[in-house]
Chains A and B, each alone.
Chain A
Amino acid sequence: MISSVRRSAFRAGMFVLSLVLIAGLWEFYKFVGPQNGGQLFGMRILPRANSQAMPHVWDMLSRYGRPEMRGSDRKVWSVVLAGAWFSLRLSSAGFILGASIGVGLAVLMARYRVVERGLLPYLVLSQTVPLIALAPLVVSWGGKLQIFGFEWPRWLSAAVLGAFLAFFPVSVGTLKGLTSVPSSSLELMNSYAASWRQTLIKLRFPAAVPFMVPAFRLAASGSVIGVVVAEISTGLKGGIGRLVIEYAREATADPAKVFTAVFGAAALGLVMAAIVAAADVMLMRNRPKETTI
Chain B
Amino acid sequence: MNAVELSGVSKIFNEGTPKQVDAVVDVSLTVQPGEFVSLIGPSGCGKSTLLRLIANLLEPTTGAIAVNGKSSAQARQDHDYGMAFQQAGLFDWRNVTKNIELPLELKGWEKAKRTDRAKQMLELVKLPEFAELYPWQLSGGMQQRVAIARALAAHPQLLLMDEPFGALDEMTREYMQGELLRICAETSTTVVFVTHSIPEAVYLSNRVVVMSPRPGRITKIVDVKLGVNRGEETRNAEEFFSGITAVREALRGTHADHVAANAVRGVEDR
Contact = CB atoms under 8 A, between A and B. Distances in A.
Is A–B contact present in the complex under a CB 8 A cutoff?
yes
Interface of A: 182, 184-185, 187-194, 198, 202-203, 206-207, 209, 286-288
B93 A209 contact: yes
Contact of A191 (B55, B92, B107): B55
B89 A182 contact: yes
B268 to A, nearest CB: 22
A287 B83 CA distance: 25
23 contacts: A182-B87, A182-B89, A184-B85, A184-B89, A185-B89, A187-B57, A187-B83, A187-B85, A191-B81, A191-B82, A192-B102, A192-B106, A192-B107, A202-B91, A203-B91, A206-B92, A206-B94, A207-B93, A209-B93, A286-B95, A288-B92, A288-B134, A288-B136
Contacts of A288: 92, 134, 136
Interface residues of B, number: 25
Contacts of A203: 91
Given A188-B85, A191-B81, 19 more contacts: A184-B85, A184-B89, A185-B89, A189-B106, A190-B57, A191-B55, A192-B79, A192-B106, A193-B76, A194-B106, A198-B106, A202-B102, A202-B106, A203-B91, A206-B93, A207-B91, A286-B93, A286-B95, A288-B92
Nearest to B135: A288
Contacts of B249: none
Contacts of B34: none
A182 to B, nearest CB: 7
A191 B83 contact: yes
A206 B106 contact: no
B105 interface: yes
Contacts of B105: 202
Nearest to A203: B91
A193 B79 contact: yes
B180 to A, nearest CB: 19
Contacts of B85: 184, 187-188
Contacts of A188: 83, 85, 89
A34 to B, nearest CB: 59
Nearest to B83: A191
Interface in B39-75: 52, 55, 57
B262 interface: no
Contacts of A194: 106
B229 interface: no
B190 to A, nearest CB: 16
B65 to A, nearest CB: 14
Contact of B134 (A185, A191, A209, A286): A286
Which of B52, B87, B92, B105 has the most A CB atoms < 10 Å from its CB?
B92
Contacts of B55: 191
B77 interface: yes
Nearest to B52: A187
Identify the 3 closest CB pairs spanning chains A and B, nearest first. A288-B136, A206-B93, A191-B83
A184 B91 contact: no
Contacts of B86: 184
A206 B86 CA distance: 22
B87 A184 contact: yes
A186 to B, nearest CB: 10
A192 B79 CA distance: 6
Contact of B92 (A189, A193, A202, A287): A287
A189 B106 CA distance: 9
B103 interface: yes
A73 to B, nearest CB: 54
